[in-house]
Structure 1
Amino acid sequence: MRRLRILHVVFSLEPGGMENGIVNVARRLPADEFEVHVCCLERGGAFVERLPHPENVVVLNKPPGFSLRAVLGVARHAQRIGADLLHPHNLGPLTYAALGSGWGFWKPVLQGEHGVFQGDQGSPARLRQRQRLYRACRKVHTVSESLRRYLIEHGFPAEKITAILNGVDTERFQPVDKAAVRAQLGLPAQGQFIGIVGRFDPNKKHLLLIEAFNRVAAQLPGARLVIVGDKGAEKDKIHAAAQASPARDHIHLAGFQANPTPWYQALDLLAAPSIFEGLSNAVLEAMACGVPCLAHTACGNAEVITSGSDGFLAALDSADALAAELHRVLANPPELAATGQRARARVMRDFSMDAMVRNYARIYREVAGFPA
Structure 2
Amino acid sequence: MEKIKVLIVISNMEFGGAQRQIVELVNNVDRNKFELHVCSLSNYAPLAEQFKQGTSLHIIHKKSKFDFSVVCKLTKLIRKQRFDVIHSYLFDAEIASRLAAKLSNTGVTVIGSERNANYTLKPIQKKAYFLTKNLVSNIIANSQSGADYNASQTQQPKNKYHVVYNGVDTTRFNISDKKHIRENLGIDINTKLIGMFASFKLQKNHPFLIAALEQLKQQGNHFKLLLVGDMLHGGLHGSDDYTERVKNEIANSSFAEDVIFLGNKDNIEDIYPACDFTVLPSLFEGTPNVVLESMACGIPCIATNVSDNNRIIEHGHSGYIVELDDIKALTAYMHQLLNDPVQLQIFSQNARDVMINKFSSVKLAENMCNIYKNAMCR
Deviation, 1:216, is 1.6
CA separation of 1:55 and 1:344: change in aligned 2, threshold 3 A: closer
Deviation, 1:61, is 2.2
Which residue is 1:57 aligned to? 57
Separation in structure 2 between the aligned mates of residue 34 and residue 81 of structure 1, nearest angstrom: 14
Separation in structure 2 between the aligned mates of residue 14 and residue 236 of structure 1, nearest angstrom: 20
Deviation, 1:136, is 0.9
| Kept after mapping to 1: 8 A contact 2:79/2:104 | no
| Kept after mapping to 1: 8 A contact 2:36/2:55 | no
**1:150 maps onto 2:149 in alignment:** yes
Deviation, 1:10, is 1.2
Which residue is 1:118 aligned to? 119
Alignment of 1:210-359 (within 5 A): 210-232=210-232, 233=239, 234-317=242-325, 319-359=327-367
Which residue is 1:203 aligned to? 203
Separation in structure 1 between the aligned mates of residue 224 and residue 146 of structure 2, nearest angstrom: 33
Separation in structure 1 between the aligned mates of residue 340 and residue 145 of structure 2, nearest angstrom: 31
CA separation of 1:252 and 1:363: change in aligned 2, threshold 3 A: same
Deviation, 1:139, is 0.7
Deviation, 1:158, is 1.4
Separation in structure 1 between the aligned mates of residue 119 and residue 76 of structure 2, nearest angstrom: 31
1:120 is paired with a residue of what secondary structure? coil
Q: Percent identity?
A: 26
Residue-by-residue CA offset, 1:123-147 (whole Å, 9 max, x unaligned): 6x64454344331111111112332
| Kept after mapping to 2: 8 A contact 1:48/1:54 | no
| Kept after mapping to 1: 8 A contact 2:87/2:111 | yes
Residue-by-residue CA offset, 1:102-156 (whole Å, 9 max, x unaligned): 17953221111111142335x6x64454344331111111112332233345553
Separation in structure 1 between the aligned mates of residue 209 and residue 168 of structure 2, nearest angstrom: 25
Separation in structure 2 between the aligned mates of residue 319 and residue 72 of structure 1, nearest angstrom: 50
Higher mean alpha-carbon deviation, 236-245 vs 344-353, is at 236-245
Which residue is 1:67 aligned to? 67
Higher mean alpha-carbon deviation, 100-109 vs 223-232, is at 100-109
In structure 1, the gaps of 5 or more residues are none
Letter in 1 for 2:373: R
In structure 2, the gaps of 5 or more residues are 233-238
2:169 is paired with a residue of what secondary structure? coil
Letter in 1 for 2:101: S
Letter in 2 for 1:14: E
1:225 is paired with a residue of what secondary structure? strand
Deviation, 1:303, is 1.4
Separation in structure 2 between the aligned mates of residue 160 and residue 311 of structure 1, nearest angstrom: 33
Residue-by-residue CA offset, 1:161-197 (whole Å, 9 max, x unaligned): 0111112121211112322321122112112211111
Which residue is 1:189 aligned to? 189
1:207 is paired with a residue of what secondary structure? helix
CA separation of 1:323 and 1:221: change in aligned 2, threshold 3 A: closer
Higher mean alpha-carbon deviation, 64-73 vs 212-221, is at 212-221
Deviation, 1:201, is 1.3
Which residue is 1:92 aligned to? 92
Residue-by-residue CA offset, 1:84-108 (whole Å, 9 max, x unaligned): 2211113221111111111795322
Separation in structure 2 between the aligned mates of residue 133 and residue 319 of structure 1, nearest angstrom: 42
CA separation of 1:220 and 1:343: change in aligned 2, threshold 3 A: farther
Separation in structure 2 between the aligned mates of residue 19 and residue 220 of structure 1, nearest angstrom: 40
Which residue is 2:373 aligned to? 365
| Kept after mapping to 2: 8 A contact 1:44/1:59 | no
CA separation of 1:223 and 1:298: change in aligned 2, threshold 3 A: same
Instruction: Please report the TM-score for the alignment, with normalisation by the length of structure 1.
Output: 0.91
| Kept after mapping to 2: 8 A contact 1:104/1:137 | no
Instruction: Please report the TM-score for the alignment, with normalisation by the length of structure 2.
Output: 0.90
| Kept after mapping to 1: 8 A contact 2:296/2:351 | yes
Letter in 2 for 1:119: T
CA separation of 1:304 and 1:158: change in aligned 2, threshold 3 A: same
| Kept after mapping to 1: 8 A contact 2:216/2:335 | yes
RMSD after superposition? 2.3
